[in-house]
Amino acid sequence: MSDDLPIGAHLTSPRRGYVHHGIYVGGGRVIHYSGFSSAFRAGPVREVSLEEFTRGRGYAVRPRVARGFSAESIVARARSRVGEDSYRFWSNNCEHFCEWCIEGRSRSAQVERWLPLLRRVARVSGALGVRALAA
């Protein structure tokens, strides 16, 4: 129940193929980078209801050992970016946004897990392309 959620909590909600991230700001509201929530058009940072954020898929609170900022500062940082419309999957997604709000650094563990695989695919693709051109 949202009444039990701490202000400034980092929420996650499962999606198909990834985990969505948002900041709980109180009153049953979450600020998140809406990303590709509406078809293939990237959306802005928005404040929405917890229900809209989860889309019926549930949520979890990501535990933190230490926070870079107080709960009030986390919420203020999240609110300062509402309306921003610069979503980029690899460098400015919902997880980057939450990490910036909480820790002051923009990063995404999900993207970091995918990068080694993508680099390998690029190397193999490049090697195959060179061989195909040489043949």
Residue-range domain boundaries for the chain = 2-109
- Rounded CA separation 90/69 (Å): 25
* 63-73: pLDDT as tens digits: 987 778 999 99
Q: Which of 66, 74, 67, 64 is closest to 24 using CA atoms?
A: 74
Arch. (CATH architecture) of 2-109: Alpha-Beta Complex (3.90)
- CA 96: distance to chain centroid? 5
Q: Which of 14, 22, 2 is closest to 102 using CA atoms?
A: 22
Q: What's the whole-model pTM score?
A: 0.83
Q: Which of 128, 51, 42 is closest to 93 using CA atoms?
A: 42
- Rounded CA separation 101/71 (Å): 10
pLDDT reported for residue 89: 86
Lowest-confidence region among 26-30, 79-83, 122-126: 122-126
The more confidently predicted of residues 90 and 82 is 82
Rounded-to-5 percentages of helix, strand, coil across the chain: 40, 30, 30
